[in-house]
Amino acid sequence: MPRIYYDQDADLSYLKDKTVAIVGYGNQGRSQALNLRDSGINVIVGNTRDRAWDQAKEDGFETYPVAEAVERADVIALLVPDEIAPQVYEESIVPHLKEGKVLDFASGYNVTYDFIQFPEYIDVIMVAPRMIGRSVRDLFVQGSGGPSLVGVHQDYSGQAWERALAFAKGIGSTRVGAVESSFEEETRCDLFGEQLSGGLLYMIRTAYEIMVANGISEEAAILELVASGEREETVRAMTEMGLFHQLVLHSHTSQYGQLTRGRRMVTDKTRMVMEEIMQEIVTGAFAKEWMLEQQAGLPLFKGLWKQSLRHSFTAAEKRVHDKLARKEKE
């Protein structure tokens, strides 16, 4: 059973005399940088000269081109999107990876599929928050934190675990729990969870089509399925109470319907498809497909986006949201 680490298990002193460079001042980068600074860690930012650069300067960080930030830093947190990370790494990080430096990832993707490889004389760690960047910051400010998966891919210094836990503490994860993991496990969890969420998107849209075909107005269907916020509250209850325990918050009629009809939607065929999707992740087939899609100019990606936005669901959803927004403003 993996160990879960808390504040008492992590020591910020492993980072106190270090300079941490946050490479990529996006959603995760900004939140992690602010949290680390508030925890007393010396943080600089490496970024291209764009809106994120301006934001980092406005937030009071010393901001440099990526290569210069890496040269100045002891710990480098690579927080750019997965698809551009290998290029950023090769062009701006590798030439400045001196012996004893630490390279941190918030995703195991590029390491798991060997898109990024390392010299043997650095520590390679992972602190992967299990939530979006905004929540990483908001929870920290509230005195709590967001949990992370924490792993070590390469321990050159003999202190890689301690440094990973210090980083996790610095961003607030050990306040609630940093779970021992690996780059490979994080990749499988992350991709499968994301793709499961994608299945939910298509299931909701299909439910909308069935409801409208059976005489329910588009507005009522949208309100029931997405716009009311009920599902958000249900997911929050799942987080706090448990997947099935939250059912007690629903009527007996609702409980009976969910327990009897819900399981009918997960058939042997559904399970087979889910297993196939997981195997595409495990074998690297998905990563290869995604890489080839990028090299081809994203034709399928762009096509599916256009198809989704042209669906009647999207237009009905906008109408309902606009009307609800006007009601809130009055």
User: Per residue in 67-115, pLDDT tens?
Assistant: 999 999 999 999 999 999 999 999 999 999 999 999 999 999 999 999 9
**Last residue in a domain, options 126, 155, 181:** 181
Sign of the torsion formed by the C-alpha atoms of 215, 216, 219 and 225? negative
- Three-state SS sequence of 204-249: HHHHHHHHHHCCCCHHHHHHHHHHCCHHHHHHHHHHHHCCCHHHHH
123: nearest Cα among 145, 151, 154, 98: 154
How sure is the predictor about 323, in pLDDT bands with cuts at 50, 70 and 90?
Answer: confident
Both 224 and 311 in one domain: the answer is yes
pLDDT band at 328 (very low <50, low <70, confident <90, very high): very low
117, 86 contact by CB (below 8 A):
no
Please name the residues in contact with 66: beta carbons below 8 A apart, sequence gap of 6 or more.
23, 46, 47, 48, 88, 92, 93
Domain of residue 216: give its range.
186-329
Domain containing residue 96: CATH number: 3.40.50.720
With a CB cutoff of 8 Å and minimum separation 6, the contacts of 144 are 172, 175, 176
What angle separates helix 27-38 from helix 51-58, to the nearest 10 degrees? 20
Residues 163 and 192 in one domain: no
106 with 79, same domain? yes
Residue 325 pLDDT: 65
The number of helices, as runs of H, and strands, as runs of E, in the chain is 16, 9
| Together in a domain, 159 and 211 | no
300 in the same domain as 269: yes
Alpha carbons 141 and 137: distance in angstroms, whole number: 6
- Using alpha carbons, select from 86, 49, 47 the residue that is nearest to residue 68: 47
Q: Which two tokens stand for residue 201?
A: 């998107």
Same domain, 16 and 144: yes
Please indicate, yes or no, whether residues 29 and 173 belong to a single structural domain of this protein. yes
Residue 38 assigned as binding residue: no
CA distance 37 to 42: 6
H or E, element range at 279 = helix 268-283
Domain identity same for 152 and 204:
no
Q: Is 17 annotated as a binding residue?
A: no
**Per-residue pLDDT averaged across 214-239, rounded?**
92
- Give the span between the Cα atoms of 188 and 182, in whole angstroms: 10
Q: Are 35 and 167 in contact (CB under 8 A)?
A: no
Question: For residue range 107-141, what is the model confidence (pLDDT) as tens digits?
Answer: 999 999 999 999 999 999 999 999 888 999 999 99
The span from the CA of 164 to the CA of 174, in Å, is 11
> Of 274, 291, 308, 277, whose CA–CA distance to 204 is shortest?
308
- Residue 140 and residue 252 share a domain: no
The model's pLDDT over 16-65, given as tens digits with 9 standing for 90+, comes to: 899 999 999 998 999 999 999 999 999 999 999 999 999 999 999 999 99
State yes or no: pLDDT of 330 exceeds 60.
Answer: no
Q: Which one of 153, 181, 209 terminates a domain?
A: 181
Write down the pLDDT at residue 321: 87
pLDDT at 329: 44
Q: Structure tokens of 40?
A: 């007393």
Same domain, 103 and 20: yes
Verify that 174 and 218 share a domain, yes or no.
no
Structural domains counted in the chain: 2
177-206: pLDDT as tens digits? 999 999 999 999 999 999 999 999 999 999
Q: How confident is the model at residue 322 (pLDDT cuts 50, 70, 90)?
A: confident
| Residues 129/148, Cβ–Cβ less than 8 Å | yes
* Same domain, residue pair 280 and 309: yes
Per-residue pLDDT band for 241 (boundaries 50, 70, 90) equals very high
Give the domain-ending residue among 131, 164, 181. 181
Strand 148-154 to strand 123-129: parallel, antiparallel, or no bridges (unpaired)?
A: antiparallel
